[in-house]
Structures are given as C-alpha cells and as structure tokens.
Amino acid sequence: MCLITFAFQMHPEYPLIVIANRDEFYDRPTAPAQFWADAPEILAGRDLLQGGSWLGVSSKNRFAAITNYRDPRLPESGLYSRGDIVRQFLEQPVSIEAFIAHLRNTKDDYGGYNVLLYDGHKMYHFNNIFDDYTIIEAGVHSLSNATLNSNWPKTQLGKDDLTEVLKVKQPLQIENLLSLLTNKTIASDNKLPDTGVGIHLERLLSPQFIKMGNYGTRCSTAILFQQDGNIQFAERTYEQGEKEYDRLFIIEKNR
C-alpha cells in the first residue's frame, strides 16, 4: 500500500473515511478483497506470497493499513512479513495501546513500515524506523512511504482532494471517492522528495496512480465507517494498470 488518505472525525455520518491505492509488482500473487476463510471476521485483500494484507477491516469495527518506508539504505525485508501486522490487529481482541506496545517491542523484526490502526474509537499511526507513534487527531491526513503527513506531492494532493469532497454538503458516493485515486500526473522536479532512489524513479513514483513496467497500482479502496456501526468497503482492482472489476461489501454492525 503506497497511498492512504483519510478523514478522521470530520463528517457527521462517517467517523472514518479512507481512500487508498496499493502499489505492487504486477506479478506478485494477490487475492482480491473478501472475507477470509481462516479468519472470517476479516475483510481484506491478501498477499498470496506471504499470507498477510496491506489493508483491511474487521467485523469488530477495526481497521489497519500498512505502507513500506522508502529508504534504499535499509533492508528490504525483515524476519517477518509486514503484511502480517494488519492481520494481527484485525484478528486479536487487544487494545490499540497494547498493540502499539507490541509493535514497539518487535519493531526490528520487520522491514521499514508505517501502520495505521483504528479500533472504532481511537486511531494511531506507528513508524518502526523512528520507533514513533502518533495519536491521530481529527482532520484530513495522508500517508505514503515516508511518514504521516510528510509533504509529498501525492499526499498533499490527496488531502486537498478529500477536503474538497467533504465541503460538499451531499451524501458521499463510493464512486466519487474512488475517482480521487486515479490521478497519473507526475510531480514537478522541484516538489519531489529525495528518498535515495534517483530522480528518474522519484518521478515515476510521484503520481497517485502509478503505471511503470512491471510495477504499479494494483487496486484502489474506499471505506466508509458509518456512525451507526456499519462499514461500506469498496475495492477496484487493476490488471496491468487497467480497470478489471469492482467489489462492494457492507458489514452490518451485528454481523
């Protein structure tokens, strides 16, 4: 997952609104969003190589999403897959504070990552490279492959776009939220971050929607946590950067 924009406690009907793009190699085996047979309370896509996920929700009103931290000087992977962190939080009935403490104790077991965690009330961000966590305050936030609200072109654009949507006093539409994730504009060089991968790759990785060689945006997700406890979850998948199909799920509070 390489771009997550979210509005926390900014809408009277939806305490949490999430839109996100997952960027990955096209040939990495992946299952689309579905309820997991071995963990029926989890709704998420699945990385079939390691068994974890980049983003998901649970019937217990929990949400987790993870992004890699981009720094070519750091090891690409660790002892365990980062995607398993998403599964752990969605599956385990531990407090969000206890889970953050667990992540701090095991931070060196994984490659560099950011994770967002929501328990139906509180929301946290944690970065294992800096061993730093943040209690999310009400607002519109965005996360890519640096840390929370880093001023990258794609994250700033994501916040601006979602903020504009929230200004319109009309019911939110999943289709409109997904459309916010399709921008393929390459940022100007003077706005690019310097993450150590070189200017050419910085350019190719700068759009919200990426399409390059054997790598790019594999799926887009929009999630609405409703005030009544229900969850709307929509996923749009892409094959080689072209739209494949949409999936829409409704999780009812008493499911």
Give me the residues paired with residue 30 across strands: 47
- Number of domains, the chain: 1
The enclosing domain of 179 has a CATH number of 3.60.60.10
In this prediction, residues 22-38 reach a mean pLDDT of: 96
Chain segment 184-210, per-residue pLDDT in tens: 999 999 999 999 999 999 999 999 999
* CA distances (Å), origin 223, targets 17, 114, 201, 248, 249: 6, 19, 30, 10, 10
Q: What is the CA radius of gyration of the chain?
A: 17
Q: How confident is the model at residue 77 (pLDDT cuts 50, 70, 90)?
A: confident
Q: Which residue has the tokens 């931070």?
A: 107
| CA distance linking residue 162 with residue 142, whole number of Å | 10
Give me the residues paired with residue 67 across strands: 114
pTM for the model: 0.96
pLDDT at 254: 64
28: containing domain:
3-251
Chain segment 131-172, per-residue pLDDT in tens: 999 999 999 999 999 999 999 999 999 999 999 999 987 789
| CA distance linking residue 224 with residue 17, whole number of Å | 5
Q: How confident is the model at residue 248 (pLDDT cuts 50, 70, 90)?
A: very high
pLDDT at 1: 62
